[in-house]
Amino acid sequence: MNRNPLSLRHSPRRLRRHPAMRGMLQEHQLTPADFILPIFLVEGEGIRNEIGSMPGVFRHSVDSALKLCGEAVARGVSGVLLFGVIAETCKDAGGSASWDKDGLVQKAIRAIRAAYPDLLVIADACFCEYTDHGHCGILSADGDRDDNATLENLQRQALSYAEAGVHVVAPSGMVDGMVSAIREALDAGCHSEVSILSYAVKYASAFYGPFRDAADSTPQFGDRRAYQMDPANRREAFRELDLDIAEGCDMVMVKPAMPYLDMVRDLRVRCDLPVLTYQVSGEYSMLQAAARAGWLDLQRSVLESLLGMKRAGADAIITYYALDAAEWLG
């Protein structure tokens, strides 16, 4: 009999042969509690309009969003991340609609908190959906972003969300000093219980395209590379992380997810704060497109991609597949 004693002595496949063995030894597992569902909000009632570049994702009026939140609770999803999409006529140069106490996101926060008190409510804090120029803050005369003026408006926005009852404020504009400014405003306004989830490592990515369609937030000129990170850079992310931690953030995020899993791992090793990642609109849509063309099995490919994020070190994942993934996981 021909046999290789070394191969018999060391056979990893032995531990893969039985389903119970594979399940018992699985190093990382997904659960519905790992997921946060993004929701796009619009004014009106009974509105549920599909986004053309994101099949299966909709813009919701607040009453429709409440039904979506009910599904999230029923399936064990931990939370929702809210984005407001307002009419062009309501936009201005500073994004002032974002801190209106009766604004779209503020109304949604109050309604969700009342209907589903156990659901985590997170509000994105940025201005690209609210400014008439589509950039993430106030612009100076030469078209550059004025970070100091933008920080003042971020404080107004964050305080407005806190007064509406939000659990977590998530600043996404990559404004230097944004965490410190928001923490100062929240604490001064007697909202020290509100957490800050910083988009600490946010790259200037091509994968945001469908989101800009969904949120009507495409810049009217230029792009956002002057304040979002260069995809080529790794060490820069450590500086952004360290600064946000020093300024008092409670959680950090890497965005996008799949092209930057190395950064998820780097942040997980480098800090003790919870690390989240955002499976962004382009990641969602490319899986949808491949599945609809018959090139990929949607369920398997989505769950594999999410598991990769968890394996890289993500404590939670923001994903448009939150409801589907929760259902698939049973």
Binding residues for Zn(2+): 126, 128, 136
Question: Catalytic residue among 91, 107, 255, 310, which?
Answer: 255
Question: Catalytic residue among 91, 107, 202, 310, which?
Answer: 202
Whole-number Cα distances in Å, 62 to 56, 161, 197 = 18, 16, 23
277 φψ region: left (φ > 0), alpha (ψ -120 to 50), beta (else): beta
Closest CA to 35 of 315, 330, 300: 315
Structure tokens at 6: 């070394």
Query: Binding site residues for Mg(2+), as ranges?
Result: 240
Query: Binding site residues for 5-aminolevulinate, as ranges?
Result: 212, 224, 281, 320
| Residue keyed to tokens 């549920």 | 48
Known catalytic residue: 202? yes
Three-state DSSP at 64 gives helix
Name the DSSP class of 230: P
Burial of 192: CB neighbours in 10 Å, binned 0-12, 13-18, 19+: exposed
Q: How many of the other CB atoms lie within 10 Å of CB of 126?
A: 27
Helix (H) or strand (E) holding 49, with range, is strand 48-51
Structure tokens at 260: 């930057």
Query: Binding site residues, as ranges?
Result: 126, 128, 136, 212, 224, 240, 281, 320
47 with 61: CB under 8 angstroms?
yes
What are the residue numbers of the active site?
202, 255
